[in-house]
Structure 1
Amino acid sequence: MVSKISWFSLDWFSPSKLQSFDWANPVWFYAMLIIPFIFILRWLIVNQFSQKLPVALTKKDLKSDPITYLRFIPPVFFIISLLLIMTSLARPQTTNEQVEQWSEGIDIVLNIDISESMQIMDFLPNRLEAAKEVARNFVAGRFQDRIGLVIFSGDALPSCPLTTDYGLLYELIEDIDFDKIESRGTAIGNAITSGINFLRESNSESKVMILLSDGDNTAGNVDPITAANLANAYNIKMYVIAIGREGKVPFGTDFFGRPRMVENTFDETALREIAKIGNGKFYRVSDKEALVQVFDEIDRLEKAEIKETRYKDTTDFYYVYLKWAAVFFLLWLLTKSTFVTNVITD
């Protein structure tokens, strides 16, 4: 840890340590460029106006003595002190920032049709697999929303209660297949009722049910319109997605491996009425791209506000470089008043 290093340690001057800091006032680094100009200006003034005494010496009497270079030590100490003061003014610091995100969340139930007609291959590889992929992506894009899952064909099967365990939900959606429910048909009313059972005890301000189906209500013991009115009584918003093309669509293959075409029709009147009663929206999609766009739109419409709280813990280390600056300033004071400064300067 940075704070456990003694102030007099040379580690404070290592490149890695200096790069690890956040600098509150980096403009002081530009001010360091002024220091050389100040000393050059001082040298020019002293050289121009200082009193000189001409002395004539023979060439053999001129000797270079290394001790004369000691006169540069005090100015070097002073320059280092100034540089350290400016480093201190740049305010080296470390920041530990924590961000907490939270949301009131939305309760959502996915109702997915797994009736036999969902095997039709106008979506690749078929309607159900396309729906599963888009549903998984929808779940992955949520934040702190509770999501439940109901699948249905001739009856409804509550597969997952409201949960924020998206990993579990992802796996349950992945495992959906046509063998989960033996009875055939499309029990839309039962599916809505099962979703209501998940949502009716919810305290969330926003409760949503997404119903995805490709057919008319042909099974079950609950009328879809009655179920929609019950959902409305619990303030559940209904988004209804009718999936599939009308007309000739591929359904399996014939003896020679060629796509077998079947006629596909269904009355979407009831599905539109369900969405209307549920104060939601009705969508008709005929390809996977359109299905993706619908889920993206629902994702935007039913997105809870995400709030965040930031905790910022800042520790300053300017005092370390200020102490070093004081050391070099004292060294400058000591050396400039001794013989070091008084060495003959030619």
Structure 2
Amino acid sequence: MFRFGNPEYLWLFFAMPLLLAVYIYLNIRKRKDVQKLGNLSTLKMMMPELSLKRSYLKFWLIFAALCAGIFMIARPQFGTKVETVEKEGIELVIAIDVSNSMLAEDVSPNRLARAKQILSRLIDLRRNDKVALIVFAGEAYVQMPLTSDTQSAKIFLNTIDPNLVPIQGTAIGQAISLGMSCFSGDQEMSKAMVIITDGEDHGGSAVDIAAEAAKAGVMINLVGIGSPDGSPIPATEYGSNFMTDSEGNVVVSRLNEQMAMEIAQSGGGFYVRADNSNSAVRALETQLDELQTGKTTSLTYSEYDEKFSMLAWIILVILVLEILFYDKKNPLFRNVRVFK
């Protein structure tokens, strides 16, 4: 595929016919002025070193350089450019709770939407890390394996909703266990997990599993989202009715900060509650910056490869040739009949 990065500069080609017309007009005037001095054939005999064809050639070289220059500033691009980039970061597994309780609206616009905003901001800040993405409710699933392509992580993050996990619940322990399997065997890179949840764990083993992860060198951090006072859960993501239990009472979901803090403490990390500010992101960034980084290489792809440098070399060659050609015949090449 071929395109111009700045096609608006191609409009300059409309000025080239005007430049050519001005050059022809000036040459006609010059010829008439010379004819006033006498017959052209006689004048040529009086100036044997003069070569009109050389002056014409110099003009066309300049004209060609200008045309190539217009193409160059329009930035021709084609093909796919592949680069090997060396980064220095950590391995980071992000686990996000997608249970129905995450639809509660005690944070704006709701817990799940706010969680995705926080994680999107965190991914932007951790662009040198390798990132994996896990979703969990009653079960946990790998949404994206460990990769240095953090932009893909943001794309996957935007697609997350409660329908991804059919079994309801908040299996934080299973999410930690699955996250452990996502890490590589690279011992030089620090490893950490960030779990964002409302803390209503239904598994009961998350504290013990977090302790095992800490022994394996993985730091477990929790971000609590929601309010300890609780909030009703909408029956649908965009509905106005609320979920009820078997007795018809409205279900109220409360942030379990005590359990979240216990998991984080057992996992050697820290706990922070998310609100409508960026304080949770700043706290996470500070915590993760303290970890030892390691070097990793990855391939990056860009859809178009810049080719203006090729035109720059062509322009340079043209201008050098224009300088080398004299307006008059060179005595060193008197017998060379390139220009008669």
TM-score under structure 1 normalisation? 0.53
Q: State whether residues 134 and 179 of structure 2, in contact with CA within 8 Å, keep that contact through their aligned partners in structure 1.
A: yes
Question: Which of the numbers 191, 205, 218 marks the counterpart of 1:236?
Answer: 218
Change (3 A) 1:259 1:300: farther
Corresponding position of 1:121? 105
**1:286 to 1:142, Cα distance in 2 relative to 1, 3 A:** closer
Q: Shift of residue 123 of structure 1?
A: 2.1
Q: In structure 2, which of residues 244, 268, 272 is the aligned counterpart of residue 283 of structure 1?
A: 272
- SS at 2:163 equivalent: coil
Change (3 A) 1:184 1:288: farther
Aligned 1:151-230 pairs, distance under 5 A: 151-199=135-183, 201-219=185-203, 222=205, 224-230=206-212
Would the alpha carbon gap of residues 257 and 239 (structure 1) be closer, same or farther in structure 2, given more than 3 Å must change?
closer
CA distance in 1, matches of 2:241, 2:173: 36
- Residue of structure 2 equivalent to 1:270: 259
Counterpart CA distance in 1 for 2:234 and 2:277 is 19
Give the C-alpha shift of residue 133 in structure 1: 1.9
CA distance in 1, matches of 2:262, 2:184: 21
* Residue pair 2:177, 2:209 contacting (<8 A) in 1 also: yes
Q: Output the CA distance in 2 between the equivalents of 1:201 and 1:234.
A: 11
Q: Which amino acid aligns with 2:261?
A: R
Using the alignment, how far apart are the partners of 2:138 and 2:168 within structure 1? 4
- AA paired with 1:244? G
Show structure 1 runs of 5+ residues with no match.
1-99, 307-346
Is the Cα contact below 8 Å between 2:207 and 2:263 reproduced in 1? Answer: yes
Distance in 1 separating the partners of 2:295 and 2:144: 25
Structure 2 vs 1, CA of residues 154 and 191 (structure 1 numbering), >3 Å: closer, same or farther? same
| Structure 2 alignment gaps of length 5 or more | 1-83, 244-249, 297-340
Matched-pair contact (CA < 8 Å) for 1:123–1:288: no
1:66-85 maps to which residues of 2 (within 5 A)? Answer: none
Q: 8 Å contact 2:224–2:272 — kept in the other structure?
A: yes
TM, length-normalised to structure 2: 0.54
Matches within 5 A, 1:140-159: 140-159=124-143
CA distance in 2, matches of 1:200, 1:230: 17
8 Å CA contact retained: 1:148, 1:161: yes
Whether the 8 Å CA contact 1:244–1:287 is kept in 2: the answer is no
1:245 corresponds in structure 2 to 227
Cα distance change, pair 238–131 in 1 and its aligned pair in 2 (3 A): same
Query: In the aligned structure 2, how far is the partner of 1:257 from the partner of 1:109?
Result: 34
Pair 291,121 (structure 1): closer, same or farther in 2 beyond 3 Å: farther
Matched residue, 2:286: 297
DSSP-derived class of the 2:286 partner = helix
Does the CA contact (< 8 Å) of 1:152 and 1:188 recur in 2? yes
Deviation (angstroms), 1:218: 0.7
**Match of 1:211, as an amino acid?**
I
Contact 2:196 2:223 in 1 (8 A): yes
Q: Structure 1 108/253 Cα, relative in aligned 2: closer, same or farther at 3 Å?
A: closer
Three-state SS of the structure 2 residue aligned to 1:280 is strand
- CA deviation vs aligned residue, 1:202-231 (integer Å, no higher than 9, x gap): 4343101101110221148x5x12211220
Q: Percent identity?
A: 27
Change in 2 beyond 3 A, CA 1:300/1:177: same
Contact 2:188/2:294, CA 8 A, preserved across alignment? no
Deviations 1:37-64 (A, max 9, x none): xxxxxxxxxxxxxxxxxxxxxxxxxxxx
CA RMSD of aligned residues (A): 5.1
Q: How many residues align?
A: 256
Q: Per the alignment, in what secondary structure is the counterpart of residue 164 of structure 2?
A: coil
Q: What SS does the corresponding residue of 2:170 show, helix, strand or coil? A: coil
Deviation digits for residues 126-169 of structure 1 (CA, Å, limit 9, x no counterpart): 11111112212222232331100111101111111110122322
CA distance in 2 between partners of 1:205 and 1:293 (Å): 22
Asked if structure 2 preserves the Cα contact closer than 8 Å seen for 1:107 and 1:204, the reply is no
Residue identity in the other structure for 2:126: R
Q: Provide the secondary structure at the position in 2 that maps to 1:160.
A: strand
> In structure 2, how many angstroms separate the alpha carbons of the residues matched to 1:257 and 1:160?
32
